[in-house]
Amino acid sequence: MSADARWLAGLEDRARGLLPAPVLEYVLQGAGDSVSTAEAVAAWQRVRLLPHVLRDVTQLDLGVTVLGSRVELPWGVAPTTLQRAVHPDGELAMARATAEAGGLMVVSSNAGTTFEQIAQTGVTWWLQAYLPADRTLAEPMLARAVDAGAGAVVLTVDTPVVGTKHHVGERVWDVVDPALLRVNFDEGHDQQPGADKATDLGPHDLDWLAERTGLPVVVKGVLRPDDARRCVQAGARAVWVSNHGGRQLDRAVATVDALGAVVDEVGEDAEVYVDGGLRTGLDVVTAAASGADAVFLGRSPLLALAEGQEGVARLHRLLREQWAEALRLTGCRSVADTRGLTAAPAPNSL
Ligand SMILES: Cc1cc2nc3c(=O)[nH]c(=O)nc-3n(C[C@H](O)[C@H](O)[C@H](O)COP(=O)(O)O)c2cc1C
């Protein structure tokens, strides 16, 4: 194994040495019995590819255009809470390394760094939002994101309640400094009546968000084609196939198994993204081949962040090399070229 491949494979082990136990547990954990989390990585490895040959793969187009913005990588950083507990520089280090790579970062509304500071790094960024029971309470936070230049708003819809997670010893919430998160909300926001997560989200909320922000709306946490169609009918510009890294409904389907039907249903009318268990350049090719317009990575960049900005920069660099190699080996030059590369799943894997 090359030094680079060893570094990539060792992300979790090194983070184990760097992070306090409750923070590491928070990053890695899944909901319930962690069935969905545990199967996510292997699910991509089940897919088999039918590569092209006799094609010129000298020049590659490694980037993509998402919602009208050109980015130099087909993966974005998924929104993750507690980046400042993983590294003191938190979202800033994540944003700087991602900006340097020409990538896209989706910033959690729970972020511990102000949107203005993140925007100043020059990164292309979108806001991820949960909506509260009283929607108007979200307005100041949404306005701050718009003022700071968010390019889209991603509404996470798989979290009417936070999925229960088992833990050993102290919970991260018992040890983490509350100043490390939710700095883009008004002071006292969480104590107000109606600040809990909405349990009555509906298609009309997409309209409301688009109208309040003037931004394209992406819906994150969709697994079914019928829901994807409802999102697009309600004005969503993109649908993000996700089971929240297995942190919400345990036993939710692996995203690779949900992606194809969503692409078939809405792929002509909206962009389709996917996340969950994607770890390598070959996984990115597999997702693109299965119809994803872009993919997102949650735990990988978060574990790399334990090693600071340089860790995230190295992750982007290594994945870029793997992605380029995988493209050439499949006889493809771009995301668009990869469509239809998928063959049947591996024998005995069903
Ligand atoms: C520690 C952690 C915190 C997360 N926080 C958020 C969040 O604030 N908002 C959100 O929409 N998703 C959140 N997610 C889910 C990710 O955006 C993403 O869907 C998931 O991590 C993808 O799977 P992967 O970790 O296997 O790449 C979080 C995931 C992790 C691991």
Contacts of 349 (CB under 8 A, 6+ apart): 46
Q: pLDDT class for 1, splitting at 50, 70, 90? A: confident
Residue 169, pLDDT score: 82
Q: Is the CB of 130 under 6 A from ligand 1?
A: no
Q: Counting atoms of ligand 1 from 1, which one is nearest the CA of 299?
A: 25
Task: Report CA(17)–ligand 1 centroid distance (Å).
Answer: 22
Q: Do the domain assignments include residue 137? A: yes
- DSSP H helices in 136-202: 139-148, 172-175
Q: Considering the chain, what is the average pLDDT of its residues?
A: 96
Task: Mark the binding-site residues, compressed into ranges.
Answer: 26, 108, 128, 130, 156, 220, 242, 244, 247, 275-279, 298-299
Residue 349, pLDDT score: 53
- Beta strands 342-345 and 104-108 are unpaired
Specify the CATH number for the domain of residue 11: 3.20.20.70
Q: Considering only CA atoms, which residue is closest to atom 4 of ligand 1?
A: 80
Q: Do the domain assignments include residue 84? A: yes
Residue 348, pLDDT score: 58
Q: Is the CB of 128 under 6 A from ligand 1?
A: yes
Residue 347, pLDDT score: 60
Q: Is the CB of 243 under 6 A from ligand 1?
A: no
Domain assignment of residue 334, given as a range: 3-343
- Phi then psi for residue 80, to 5 deg, are -140, 135
Task: Report CA(27)–ligand 1 centroid distance (Å).
Answer: 9
* Residues annotated as part of the active site: 244
Q: Do the domain assignments include residue 190? A: yes
Longest Cα–Cα distance of the chain, Å, equals 64
Q: Counting atoms of ligand 1 from 1, which one is nearest the CA of 300?
A: 27
Q: pLDDT class for 167, splitting at 50, 70, 90? A: confident
Residue 346, pLDDT score: 62
Give percent above pLDDT 90 in the chain: 95
Q: Do the domain assignments include residue 349? A: no
Q: Do the domain assignments include residue 60? A: yes
Is it the case that residue 78 has pLDDT exceeding 90? yes
The residue written with tokens 């735990």 in the block is: 299
Q: Is the CB of 242 under 6 A from ligand 1?
A: yes
Helix (H, G, I), strand (E, B) or coil at 266: helix
Is it the case that residue 293 has pLDDT exceeding 60? yes
Q: Is the CB of 108 under 6 A from ligand 1?
A: yes
Residue 43, pLDDT score: 98
Count of domains forming the chain: 1
Q: Counting atoms of ligand 1 from 1, which one is nearest the CA of 159?
A: 11
More confident site: 345 or 57: 57
Contact assessment for residue 118 and residue 144, using Cβ atoms and an 8 Å cutoff: no
Contact assessment for residue 15 and residue 306, using Cβ atoms and an 8 Å cutoff: yes
Q: Do the domain assignments include residue 132? A: yes
pLDDT (average), residues 207-211: 97
Is it the case that residue 143 has pLDDT exceeding 70? yes
Q: pLDDT class for 153, splitting at 50, 70, 90? A: very high
pLDDT (average), residues 61-76: 98
Q: pLDDT class for 343, splitting at 50, 70, 90? A: confident
Q: Do the domain assignments include residue 100? A: yes
Q: Is the CB of 267 under 6 A from ligand 1?
A: no
Q: Cα 154 to the chain's mean position, in Å?
A: 10
Cα–Cα nearest to 117, from 85, 83, 86: 83
Q: Do the domain assignments include residue 350? A: no
Task: Report CA(244)–ligand 1 centroid distance (Å).
Answer: 6
Q: How far apart are CA 104 and CA 120, in angstroms?
A: 14
Q: pLDDT class for 340, splitting at 50, 70, 90? A: confident
Q: How many residues does the chain have?
A: 350
Is it the case that residue 350 has pLDDT exceeding 80? no
Is it the case that residue 345 has pLDDT exceeding 70? no
